[in-house]
Amino acid sequence: MSHGPNIHLPPPLIYVAAFTVGLLADRFWPLPLGIPESLSSLLGSLLVAAGLGLAFWGMFTFARRRTAVFPNQPATTVVRDGPYRFSRNPMYLGLAVAYLGGAILLDLLWPLVFLPVAVLAINAFVITREERYLAREFGEEYADFRNSVRRWI
C-alpha cells in the first residue's frame, strides 16, 4: 500500500516562510508598493478572499471525494471536478493569490520579491513529488488528467 507522495512539510508553510522573509526585509529596508490605500485595501482584500476561497474550494472538493487533503497521506482517486477542472493545483494557486493579495493589502514590495521563490519551491519540492506519486498510483488515469488540465492555470 502506498504512503503518499512523502511530503512532510505542509505546503502553506512555504508561503508563510517566504512572506515572513519579505516582512523581515521590509523591516530593514522598507519598500512600499506605493499603491493608494483605497485601491490597495480593495484589491488586496479581493485577492486574499479569492485566493483563500479557491484553496478551500480545492480542499472541500478533495474532502467530498474522500481523498487526502494533506500531501503526506495517500490519495484514493484522481479528482477532476470543482476547481480541478481548470487547475491541477488550485490549493497552491489559491495560496499564491492570497499571498499576492496580502502583500498588496499591506502595501509591501518585499513579500512580492519572495513570491516567485515560494512558487518555485512549491513546484520543485511539492508538486513534482505529488505528480510522480500520482503517475505511479493512477497511471493512465492521471496521465489523461495531466494532459487535459494545466498545472497552475
The three-class DSSP label of residue 152 is: coil
* 128 domain-assigned: yes
Q: Give the per-residue pLDDT at 6.
A: 86
Percentage of the chain modeled with pLDDT above 90: 94
What DSSP assignment string belongs to 105-148?
HTTBSHHHHHHHHHHHHHIIIIIHHHHHHHHHHHHHHHHHHHHH
Phi/psi at 15 (nearest 5 deg)? -65, -40
Residue 2, in any domain of the structure: no
Domain encompassing residue 59: 11-148
Q: Tell me, yes or no, whether 142 lies in a domain.
A: yes
- Measure the N-to-C terminal CA separation of the chain; round to a whole number of Å: 32
Residues 27-62 pLDDT 10s? 999 999 999 999 999 999 999 999 999 999 999 999
Choose among 109, 131, 110: nearest CA to 122.
Answer: 131
Q: How confident is the model at residue 2 (pLDDT cuts 50, 70, 90)?
A: low
pLDDT band at 80 (very low <50, low <70, confident <90, very high): very high
Which residue type occupies 92?
Y
pLDDT of 98 over the 90 cut: yes
What stretch of H or E contains 51?
A: helix 37-64
- Domain tally, the chain: 1
- The predicted model scores a pTM of 0.95
Q: CA quadruple 58, 110, 9, 129: dihedral positive or negative? A: positive
Query: Is the residue at 5 inside a domain?
Result: no
- 109-133 pLDDT, tens digit per residue, is 999 999 999 999 999 999 999 999 9
pLDDT, residue 3, reads 76
